[in-house]
Amino acid sequence: MKIVMVMTMCVAMVALASVAQADLVLTTATGTGADSYVRNSDTSNFGTVDTMMLLDGSGLSYDRVAYMRFDLSTLNFTVDSATIAVTQPTGSATYWRTYLSVYALDESATGYGTGKLGEDWGETSINGDNAPGANNANNNLIDPNYTTLLGTIARPASLPALTSLTFSTNLECFNNDTNDMVTLIMVQSYPNYTSLIATKEHATLAAPTLTLTPEPATMTLLLLGLPLALRRRRK
């Protein structure tokens, strides 16, 4: 009878695992999270503003990119897919034909170059000169030696709106993480137009949000571990 019950519970758990969603939802306001934007070759800091500005300008000095860090200390599964969502407010500077590209800042044991901050960059100290993964000689500051492209999305025509990108490749920034944090860099991919993104300081709009979904095998193991643990406790 006990064997039948255990087998029945296991079958039920496997069935549940196929439909269960145990996503981990994080914002830049969670734990060590942070958000700010930087302007190329500018030492100004914008860590306390309620919107981040993205611009692929006519010259490198006009480029502005957003930095968003998420606290991964509660991540306890293998990530199968991830979704980054940002809210774009209504603004006269925005234009509907814009595209937003998202990069992950790679972990670097030796740092990101002379004068650059680490992945624990401060929200009120990061700027266009010291931002990690940024090369002032490159378009949109992106340094391919320290960043990985995750994907590109088109901004919706109607604002305000929630813009999101889901990706299931290049997940090493989550699954191989060793410092309990990940930084995502968002850039404008359409020249000479500006996009605005709400930060965690915004009074009414949602902060940048990262949703991590576990792979099905992880969910199955987690759920199957429950009846086994109960059996051990009863012995």
CA 84 to the chain's CA centroid: 5
Most confident residue range from 10-19, 34-43, 87-96: 34-43
Asked if the model's pLDDT at residue 21 lies above 70, the reply is no
pLDDT of residue 228: 41
DSSP codes joined into one string, 188-218: E-SBT-EEEEE-TT-SSSPPPEEEEEE-HHH
Which pTM value belongs to this model? 0.83
Higher per-residue confidence, 231 vs 30: 30
Query: Of 85, 89, 104, nearest to 169 (Cα)?
Result: 104
Asked if the model's pLDDT at residue 113 lies above 60, the reply is yes
pLDDT of residue 72: 98
Domain boundaries, the chain: 25-224
* pLDDT 10s digits, 125-177: 999 999 999 998 888 899 999 999 999 887 766 667 778 999 999 999 999 99
Show the tokens assigned to 43.
Answer: 């030492």
As a whole number, the mean pLDDT across the chain is 83
CB 127, CB 42: distance < 8 Å:
yes
Mean pLDDT of the region 176-180:
96
CB 117, CB 62: distance < 8 Å:
no
Which one is the CATH code of 25-224: 2.40.50.140, 2.40.30.20, 2.60.120.260, 3.40.50.970?
Answer: 2.60.120.260
Show the tokens assigned to 105.
Answer: 């800042």
99-105 and 181-188 beta bridge pairing: antiparallel
Asked if the model's pLDDT at residue 102 lies above 50, the reply is yes
Higher per-residue confidence, 109 vs 119: 119
* pLDDT 10s digits, 57-101: 666 778 999 999 999 999 999 999 999 999 988 764 545 456 889
